[in-house]
A and B are shown apart, each in its own frame.
Chain A
């Protein structure tokens, strides 16, 4: 079966711009989580969605937002981009949220802010 699909794979944006990243989970998975990965900070949790509702949110400024659609696809948006937002953004899907569920990661979107 198809894995988690993230688009685009690579993105270059200018400071001050905004960006939207997309994640299509594995068919049948209803939970989607987003992580930011940087060399110095590891995998930092951004959001978790289940059935179009945000269940958890990490410690990121309000410039970072997300949503989930009825088909479980999810998008995250970053407004007023800063140089420090350059990172690999990873999306992970699972059947349902919470403990005892394995997360399947997409290839990620590498965002570079110049």
Chain B
């Protein structure tokens, strides 16, 4: 079936270092969404990308949607301890499909 693959599964960084998580689909996505789940919490919506090649920024976070709408990335510049959590990508293949989540990348930041 259709899946969204996300790498890496875990990432340890020193505070101040950059971090990137990647998301891939075997087929073209209608959109890609990103969520953050803090330890012990629930997923919280960060952003949605819809257009081919789209790039959006939220302060230190940069989100990209690939030209073929099959991959996406989230890049965090100069990580802080508040960035700790699991980042999930999620997408729809078409309007009739449910939102399918990637496996998530757990980010740990050493102060």
Residues of A with Cβ closer than 8 Å to B?
Answer: 33, 35, 42-43, 45, 48, 55-56, 58-59, 90, 92, 97-100, 102-108
- B101 touches A (CB below 8 Å): yes
Are the C-beta atoms of A103 and B45 separated by less than 8 Å? Answer: yes
Are the C-beta atoms of A43 and B42 separated by less than 8 Å? Answer: no
Residues of B with Cβ closer than 8 Å to A?
Answer: 1, 30-31, 33, 35, 41-45, 48, 50, 88, 90, 92, 94-104
In the complex, the number of residue pairs spanning A and B with C-beta atoms less than 8 Å apart equals 63
Are the C-beta atoms of B99 and A103 separated by less than 8 Å? Answer: yes
A28 to B38, CA, bound (A): 27
**Inside 8 A of A108's CB, which chain B residues have their CB?**
42
CB distance from A25 to the nearest CB of B (A): 14
A104 and B88 contact, Cβ closer than 8 Å, known pairs A33-B98, A45-B100, A99-B94: no
Are the C-beta atoms of A99 and B100 separated by less than 8 Å? Answer: no
Are the C-beta atoms of A42 and B103 separated by less than 8 Å? Answer: yes
